Amino acid sequence: MNDRIQQILNQITELEDDLRIALNEQQSSMFFQIKGKRVEFEQSIKETHKRLKTSFFRWLVTYRPQNLITGPIIYSMIIPLLITDFFVTLYQLTCFPIYGIKRVRRSDYIVYDRMHLNYLNFIEKFHCTYCAYGNGMIAYVSEVIARTEQYFCPIKHARKILGTHSRYERFLEYGDAEDYQKKLEEYRRALENEKS
């Protein structure tokens, strides 16, 4: 990777970090504060949320029938999600220490905070919990696999692919064979030195 591309990637990373910090500051100053694992809203926001909540029976009557019909199919996906979660976690717990790769923290990816939203009824909160688990788990698995890819084969593909993980842009260019083994060891050492 040439120096100009590396410089741009570093700038992108810094800007993403700055944006994440700014968004967190804005959110916490506007509506809520995070205290440990709890999310606390201002009293006026809590009252507004309760007023906007749709009762279960009204929700059931106004809910789209196609959503109710496909519900069992959607929620049956919990089985492959749980199995994948179990095996990826087992893989990480057993293999990452051997490779010297820092473990991925599930709690950084699977976050259950929507249950604090009082404008959601219990069914909507259940939906949100399911989606938080499913999307968070897929992001967690993606990061575990991304670290594995960085350890074994940090090489870009010849063709452009969609949906690459955050590490991919820093991988070696396809066909760049010069000092491959040396560069591979540098990628591996970087994994050992990560914060989390």
The pTM score is 0.74
pLDDT at 142: 96
Identify the burial level of 193 via C-beta atoms within 10 angstroms of its C-beta, where 0-12 means exposed, 13-18 middle and 19 or more buried.
exposed
pLDDT at 30: 58
Identify the burial level of 150 via C-beta atoms within 10 angstroms of its C-beta, where 0-12 means exposed, 13-18 middle and 19 or more buried.
buried
The pLDDT tens digits along the chain (196 residues) read: 677 777 787 788 788 777 777 766 665 555 766 777 777 666 666 666 666 667 666 666 666 677 778 889 999 999 999 999 999 999 999 999 999 999 999 999 999 888 878 888 888 888 899 999 999 999 999 999 999 999 999 999 999 888 888 888 889 888 888 889 999 999 999 888 887 5
pLDDT at 17: 76
pLDDT at 70: 85
At residue 166, φ and ψ (nearest 5 deg) are -65, -20
pLDDT at 11: 82
Dihedral of alpha carbons 137, 82, 89, 163, sign: negative
